[in-house]
A and B are shown apart, each in its own frame.
Chain A
Amino acid sequence: MTELVIRFLVGGALVSAFAAVGTILKPKSFAGLFGASPAIALATLILTARRDGPVYASMEARSGIVGAFAFCAYAYSVMKFVARRKSDAKIPTYAFLLVWFLVAFGLWWVLGLGRIS
């Protein structure tokens, strides 16, 4: 339980810190870089490397690279969709999370990340 609380606090603090930096930066396209900040990766890897060791953390990081490409596909899809449609931007930003799941798990399966260690 203590570990979960520490994870929650470290993750929340790092995400808030990166988001705050993104908020004060202009232009908005530059601030957008912080939408893909490594806050969650940083929080997770700090705790994982100490608890489970560097080999475990390196396996997480390798899968994370695949997740980052899926994030790229998600953000690109959102950008193209909201720029062309006349509807509100809120729903697409949530609905397109499906793109992340499809690309992330698709690449994970194609690259056989579950089989190699």
Chain B
Amino acid sequence: MIVKFSLGALKETSAKDYAIRFILGGLVTVVTGLIAKKFGPTVGGLFLAFPAIFPATATLIATQQKEKKERLSLNGVMRGRLAVAVEAKGTTLGCMGLAAFLLTVFLLIKNQPLAVVLGAAIAAWTTVSGLLWLLVKRGR
């Protein structure tokens, strides 16, 4: 199997990191709404794809990798950097999926029920992101 699940990875993330993600996610959603209210939907809409969580997630990954290596008395900075680079590579592909999600919403939302639109948009995100990831993986 190409993709695997590891529920144990959830335990490696501290309660503080979960709280940071929740607060950041909530704040960006609030700020996006406030920007749209103040400057209109065409400006506010840009922030639907603001990389709010990525820096926090990347910092967490780098710290975890660094600590793992330092427990073995090794320099973990390089390992942390490479882990962030791999994460960023996946995120770069995921952005195309996010664009597909938003394009689907843009094309359907005026004519279809909201549940149908969001279902189709999630399907577009999953399909485009997954296919691009497979293409890049096989192309290496």
Instruction: Name A residues whose Cβ lies closer than 8 Å to a Cβ of B.
Output: 3-4, 7-16, 19-20, 22-50, 52, 54-72, 74-76, 78-79, 82-83, 85-90, 93-94, 97, 100, 104-105, 108, 113-114, 117
Q: How many residues on the B side are at the interface (Cβ–Cβ under 8 A)?
A: 83
Dominant secondary structure at the A interface: helix
Q: A36-B94, A37-B94 are in contact. List 8 more A-B contacts (CB 8 A).
A: A8-B26, A25-B5, A42-B121, A48-B36, A57-B105, A64-B46, A75-B89, A87-B77
Q: Do the beta carbons of B99 and A24 come within 8 Å of each other?
A: no
Bound CA–CA A37/B90 (angstroms)? 11
- With a cutoff of 8 Å between Cβ atoms, the chain B residues found around residue A50 in the complex are 114
Dominant secondary structure at the B interface: helix
Bound CA–CA A23/B53 (angstroms)? 13
- With a cutoff of 8 Å between Cβ atoms, the chain B residues found around residue A23 in the complex are 9-10, 12-13
